[in-house]
Amino acid sequence: MGTRIEAACALTRGGPRKVTARGLADAAARACLAQAGRRPGDVDMLINAGIYREDNMGEPALAALIQEDIGANLGEPPVGAHGTFSFDLLNGACGVITAIQLQSGLLCSGVIRYGAIVTSDVDPDAGSHGAAALRPAGGAMLLGWDDGIAGFTDFHVETFPEYADLYTSGLVWQGRRGIRFPRQGAGRHQLVIDEKPGYQDRLADCAEEATRNFLRELGMDMTEVDLLVPAPSAPGFLDPLRERLGVPGDRVAYTPEDLAGTHTTGLITAVQAAIRSGRLGEAGNTLMLAAGSGITVALALYRQASA
């Protein structure tokens, strides 16, 4: 018995209108539910793990707006039915694995029956913060409980705070200079993403160390991993990592080019690729990996053998 991935969907456009974080997350959530053959009302918990938005809204949680947009249990449910609990989670590129860990536990306890994880990022100040522009992308994953598989059995998170300064981001207040016209603001908050040289190399080092520690904890070696599903959030670190871990290319779920370079959606793009290629269904032991700011490395083992 274990947590099962019901469906995963990632996309770069949410519809004909301007690309927004909310629009991308809404579109991905709807597509994911349709893939799984589930209704929005089936979702007991909705976690948004996306970070960068066009408006940088502080409250409510974007998850609440997504819940409203997709129509998941908006008001009092009928007798015997249930509501939906929505909130945002921030853990950079590792947010999706953290959300899976939390929902997997709640599924195990029977507190929830279906959990949705959504992500989206857009660049509110494209190109003006010095770092590479964030690629607009949104994703959604639906998790359920399956009596026939072991599902997500183990999780491992390691942080390497000595490298915390290699990737930082946030809003910086910039006061307007010169003459101000009536009704003109005094300034604006600009997004600053500061990626220092060497970040992606350190990501590979940390990801390798954390993966080896995780496998040691599990009593496994890399040859027992049938499929590696790495979040391509920082694509420059993947190939060196794969080589160091000795994973053949045919045991890695590579994200298609049109979805490469996505941020919090990275893991969902890789899972979607693994599902579409049929390889996730064939793999007994799948190792999911994400690495990002902190430096934080998150890993999850997904087993499709029965528990």
Q: Which residues contact 273 (CB under 8 A, 6 or more apart)?
A: 253, 254, 255, 256, 259
In the range 3-42, which residues lie near another protein by CB under 8 A?
Answer: none
How many residues are given for the chain? 307
Strands (E), 122-186: 137-146, 151-159, 167-175
As a whole number of Å, the end-to-end CA separation of the chain is 6
When binding is defined by CB under 8 A, the residue of 119, 211, 269, 296 that contacts another protein is 296
Instruction: Report the nearest approach of another protein to the CB of residue 285 (Å).
Output: 21
Toward another protein, which CB reaches closer, 164 or 305?
Answer: 164
Toward another protein, which CB reaches closer, 203 or 273?
Answer: 203
Instruction: Report the nearest approach of another protein to the CB of residue 197 (Å).
Output: 17
In the range 140-199, which residues lie near another protein by CB under 8 A?
Answer: 145, 157, 159, 161, 164, 167-173, 185-189, 192
In the range 63-82, which residues lie near another protein by CB under 8 A?
Answer: 63-65, 67-68, 72-77, 79-82
Q: Which residues contact 65 (CB under 8 A, 6 or more apart)?
A: 22
In the range 37-66, which residues lie near another protein by CB under 8 A?
Answer: 44-46, 51-52, 55-61, 63-65
Count CB-CB contacts under 10 A for residue 113: 15
Instruction: Report the nearest approach of another protein to the CB of residue 91 (Å).
Output: 5
Instruction: Report, in angstroms and rounded to the nearest whole number, the Rg of the chain calculated over CA atoms.
Output: 20
Toward another protein, which CB reaches closer, 77 or 127?
Answer: 77
When binding is defined by CB under 8 A, the residue of 6, 88, 125, 208 that contacts another protein is 88
Looking at residue 239, what DSSP letter applies? H
Instruction: Report the nearest approach of another protein to the CB of residue 248 (Å).
Output: 31
Count CB-CB contacts under 10 A for residue 201: 13
SS3 277: coil
Sheet holding 285-292, edge to edge: 151-159, 296-303, 285-292, 227-230
Instruction: Report the nearest approach of another protein to the CB of residue 5 (Å).
Output: 15
Asked if 126 interacts with another protein (CB under 8 A), we say no
Toward another protein, which CB reaches closer, 72 or 225?
Answer: 72
When binding is defined by CB under 8 A, the residue of 292, 297, 302, 304 that contacts another protein is 292
CA distances from 299 to 76, 214, 256, 276 (A): 37, 8, 21, 21
Instruction: Report the nearest approach of another protein to the CB of residue 3 (Å).
Output: 8
